[in-house]
Amino acid sequence: MPDGTDTTDRTNPGDRPDEPAIRKLSVIVPVFNERNTLVEILRRMRQVELPEGIDREIIVIDDGSTDGTREVLKQLGDSTVRIVMHPQNRGKGAAVRTGFEHAVGDYVLVQDADLEYDPDDWPKLLNPVLRGRARVVYGSRFTGERRNMLFLHWVGNRFLSLTTNVLYNTTLSDMETCYKLIDRKLIDELDLRSDKFDIEPEITAKILKRKIRIYEVPISYTGREFDEGKKITWRDGFAALKTLVKYRFKD
């Protein structure tokens, strides 16, 4: 949906909250060996101007970093930033799930620590919820300003989104986006289990299985290359495909 058109089915009241107002936004930041970008991303997150009346909590989960990230984190915690440490590396999905367990906000958003996603886009994501149009909002990397990604990454992302659309009867442009803003009450119902990058398709599959339509908005994106620290590989794409198929036909 290039124009971010509302896809919420208004005939189903369960697709949107009765009271769309958000008092607190919980932002989950899974981190693994991001020493070089961590200080900057937290600076940007603290400076975001949220809509009036919305507080923020930032929960950083260090997933067993070995590059000095943990030492940096020990100096960054304050009243708005909570630090949670995994003793060893378990995967992005495990870190995200730990963050969800600690979140107390009305809505939850995942923020990668690698500077690919711009926190200044948070208000765009919040806007449909504040207008009562959605319980779930995704930020699409393919409809907004972006630094072009590698061709194979583009193909992989588009293929997984197409597969999602075919299997779940929807029209998402970016299933694999990090920016997923979700009602925390809904998160509590999803029973998430993935430990790796397959957390993204698991979240999407379980939301769509509940007949909840997803609202998309365009976001900016500055993709990294592997020599800049990008971690996801083609193997993760196969795992995502397997996850989409599994949850489509699982009761």
Whether the per-residue pLDDT at 163 is higher than 70: the answer is: yes
| Residue pLDDT, tens place only, 64-73 | 999 999 999 9
* DSSP state string for 37-65: HHHHHHHHHHH--PPTT-EEEEEEEEES-
Domain membership flag for residue 3: no
How many angstroms separate the CA atoms of 8 and 131, rounded?
Answer: 12
Domain membership flag for residue 191: yes
SS3 content of the chain, % helix, strand, coil (to 5): 40, 20, 45
Domain membership flag for residue 8: no
Dihedral sign of CA atoms 150, 227, 232, 121 in order: negative
Domain membership flag for residue 96: yes
| Mean pLDDT along residues 239-245 | 91
Domain membership flag for residue 4: no
Tell me which of 26-30, 225-229, 234-238, 246-250 is least confident: 225-229
Angstrom distances, CA of residue 4 to CA of 46, 139, 152, 175, 204: 26, 9, 25, 14, 17
| Residue pLDDT, tens place only, 99-136 | 999 999 999 999 999 999 999 999 999 999 999 999 99
For residue 229, the enclosing domain spans: 13-249
Domain membership flag for residue 6: no
Structure letter (DSSP) for residue 69: H
Whether the per-residue pLDDT at 1 is higher than 50: the answer is: no
Domain membership flag for residue 5: no
Whether the per-residue pLDDT at 149 is higher than 90: the answer is: no
Domain membership flag for residue 171: yes
pTM of this structure: 0.84
The whole-number pLDDT of residue 32 equals: 96
pLDDT band of residue 79 (cuts 50, 70, 90) is: confident
pLDDT band of residue 12 (cuts 50, 70, 90) is: very low
Domain count, the chain: 1
Supply the CATH number for residue 201's domain.
3.90.550.10
